[in-house]
Structure 1
Amino acid sequence: MSRPQKRATVHDIAAAAGVSRGTVSRVLNGGYVSAEARAAIEAAILEVGYVPNNAARTLKMRRSQAVGFVALEPHSLFLDDPNIGSIMLGANAALSLADHQMVSLVVESQRDTERVARYLSGGFVDGAIVVSARTRDPIIKVIADLGLPAAFVGHPPELSDNIPFVGIDNVGSAQAITARLAASGRRRIGMIAAALDRDSGIDRLTGFKTALGTGYDPALVADVPHYDYGSGAKGMRLLLEREPSIDGVFAASDAIAAGALETLREAGRSVPGDVGVVGFDDSTWAVRCQPQLSTVHQPAKELGSYAAQLVLRQLRGETLEPGGQMLPTPIVWRDSA
């Protein structure tokens, strides 16, 4: 029976390179040595087949080299929402470049909250990126109490300016696209408003109200729980029941707009002939729809990448400026309005 091959050590590298163990350690930990010594050590590493013991390094540094991606969304929406997927890909790319692993943590129920809180408290991750945090969400308090390096995508209302975040101007963006919809000649404009328990949903409704001014009618707002296709179909049915002559709709996300388009087709309404529809996100939903959606471009990958960089900067000991960063959100005008 063959014995497992012995793992090469720092001693083996030092012997092969003809230098001290301390010199080898300086090279492995990024310290300064002469160019000649570094070349000899690098050659010796290849010769002896040395592989760093990351487990031992983690114990010594008390770091896991992992960052949690905490999505406070229903499990089904986590899988179906291309916006969340793009944020995750952007975060993972930035963490990967820094040799950090991303751990996905989906919170839908109270049981999930308790489980994730225990996980975060157990030292399994060095930091956290939080997406879709709701007002007074207990996960926010857990992260604050732990003093865990964290960054939020979006800006939950109860957070202080000292907690870093990256987001978009949901109010201004919603106001801009609603105003453009109104400028196309629509007179009875409604909104399918989602996720009013978090900042993005509240802010998009605020922007919609501001754009319409005295023309705003609260009866033409359908309140739905999630940024998903089913909520859009349901919300559009509610609006048609309340106002059969509705001729414009601002959907709080592209997935919601896609659901609204299906309901309008079933009702025999043409888009944009009878009803103009606009969405929000510029996700893959926007170009899959027929007609393609006029929408607000949300830079999802950039949001994820920026949030990851905020966490990594904290882990490096950098002091961050108070407040957060807002990324631009241009309107993309297509055929649906």
Structure 2
Amino acid sequence: MPPSGSSSRRATVHDVAAAAGVSRGTVSRVINGGYVSPRARAAIEAAIAEVGYVPNTAARNLVTQRSQAVGFVVLEPHVLFLEDPNIGAIMLGANATLSDADYQMVNLVVDSERDTQRVSRYLSGGFVDGVIIVSARTHDPIIRVLAQVGIPAAFVGHPRDLDRGIPFVGIDNTGSARLITERLMATGRRRIGMIAAAVDRDSGADRVDGFRAALGPRFDPDLVAEVPLYDYSWGAKGMRSLLEREPAIDGVFAGSDALAAGALEVLREAGLSVPRDVGVVGFDDSAWAVRTQPQLSTIHQPAAKLGAQAADLVLRQLRGEPYASEGILLPTPIVWRGSA
């Protein structure tokens, strides 16, 4: 409880020091993570509980010029932020790492030009110490903003025009797409199409490159249905487009599991059996992959680890520690299930 006669007053470091029988400096060392003897620490922790002391973070931030916050910027429409399990897993992985370091994560969604301007002002205003960027596009304005502000940053993914001085964590989208397309080809499929989303980003463009590389001379650009988002409804639209272009299609590589799930629904509506008539593979190994019937063959993308690694890259910059400035690529094994 607060000291006698001070029930309406906020407890201070002086109150803690008096209750613990130590100096104010000793209390400050405990609060700021410094070393004190185990006996003094135990007394101070007991005193903090007794007087109800809560550290004044705002005052500490004025002294340290740190907010103890890191921005998590998602450059996707609001609906995709809520529905895409990969974004959720990346966010939770980043939050766990930041929380362990006593940093607060601030979520910022960029869905329009106005959002870009608002978030740019926010990042320039010192409200966060660093920033994690997810789903940046080639020539994205946020890249230019980061260069101007000079804030510690890390990207999840690797926009093709990213400044080499800004670190990233990602996966080999091209190689992974090539491998799973080759695995699909090995099942005997002859007319294979692709539902390709977000080709203005490294993930979408690189997956198309991998698909093209796997097919080689068999690649038919008319069998690539481009859609804007990694979204179930766009997967359905992409599959309808492919069936219109090539009714004899017998294999589909969808650029994400959500797209593949939409494709499966359209194939069922068309009276086609998966995998007997059409083999389907996805990408991500997200929750979508095990909700479908049959379950999806896919590429496992370690979304939570991507977020955790990106957060670690930002924290290392804040601490002045060495970090992988050229970027980090995480492994992406194939997970083979019943859809192909």
Give the TM bin, normalised by the shorter chain.
Answer: over 0.9
Range that drifts further, 55-64 or 171-180: 55-64
Give the deviation of 1:300 after TM superposition: 0.6
Give the deviation of 1:114 after TM superposition: 0.9
Aligned partner of 1:213 in structure 2 is 216
Give the deviation of 1:160 after TM superposition: 2.8
Give the deviation of 1:161 after TM superposition: 2.7
Aligned partner of 2:323 in structure 1 is 320
Aligned partner of 2:63 in structure 1 is 60
* Counterpart pick for 2:238 among 232, 235, 238: 235
Q: Distance in 2 between matches of 1:71 and 1:310?
A: 17
* SS of equivalent residue, structure 1 residue 219: helix
Q: Distance in 2 between matches of 1:154 and 1:299?
A: 12
Aligned partner of 2:186 in structure 1 is 183
Give the deviation of 1:210 after TM superposition: 0.6
Give the deviation of 1:42 after TM superposition: 3.5
After superposition, what is the alpha-carbon deviation per residue over 1:189-228, rounded to whole angstroms, capped at 9, x for unaligned?
1111110100000110010011111111111111111110
Q: Distance in 2 between matches of 1:17 and 1:292?
A: 60
| Residue type at the aligned position of 2:79 | S
- Listed as ranges, the gaps of 5+ residues in structure 2 are none
* SS of equivalent residue, structure 2 residue 321: coil
| Residue type at the aligned position of 1:187 | R
* Counterpart pick for 2:174 among 171, 177, 183: 171
Range that drifts further, 26-35 or 56-65: 26-35
Contact 2:198–2:229 (CA under 8 A) maintained in structure 1: yes
Aligned partner of 1:131 in structure 2 is 134
3 and 276 in structure 1: CA distance in 2 versus 1, 3 angstrom threshold: same
Q: Is 1:332 paired with 2:335?
A: yes
Contact 2:195–2:224 (CA under 8 A) maintained in structure 1: yes
- RMSD across aligned positions (CA): 1.6
| Residue type at the aligned position of 2:60 | R
Aligned partner of 1:90 in structure 2 is 93
Q: Distance in 1 between matches of 2:7 and 2:144?
A: 48
Range that drifts further, 100-109 or 182-191: 100-109
Give the deviation of 1:78 after TM superposition: 1.0
Aligned partner of 2:143 in structure 1 is 140
Q: Is 1:278 paired with 2:281?
A: yes
Superposed, 1:25-174 pairs within 5 Å as: 25-174=28-177
Aligned partner of 2:256 in structure 1 is 253
| Residue type at the aligned position of 1:212 | L
TM-score (norm 1): 0.95
| Residue type at the aligned position of 1:252 | G
| Residue type at the aligned position of 1:52 | P
Range that drifts further, 14-23 or 327-336: 14-23
Range that drifts further, 100-109 or 319-328: 319-328
Give the deviation of 1:39 after TM superposition: 4.1
Q: Distance in 1 between matches of 2:269 and 2:43?
A: 74
Once the two structures are aligned, what percentage of the paired residues are identical? 75
* Counterpart pick for 2:290 among 275, 287, 292: 287
Give the deviation of 1:48 after TM superposition: 3.0
After superposition, what is the alpha-carbon deviation per residue over 1:9-37, rounded to whole angstroms, capped at 9, x for unaligned?
22223333333323332333233344444
Give the deviation of 1:4 after TM superposition: 4.9
| Residue type at the aligned position of 2:221 | P
237 and 315 in structure 1: CA distance in 2 versus 1, 3 angstrom threshold: same
Give the deviation of 1:3 after TM superposition: 7.6
Q: Distance in 2 between matches of 1:46 and 1:271?
A: 62
Q: Distance in 2 between matches of 1:66 and 1:8?
A: 25
TM-score (norm 2): 0.94
Q: Distance in 2 between matches of 1:33 and 1:79?
A: 45
After superposition, what is the alpha-carbon deviation per residue over 1:51-77, rounded to whole angstroms, capped at 9, x for unaligned?
211121122111111111101011111
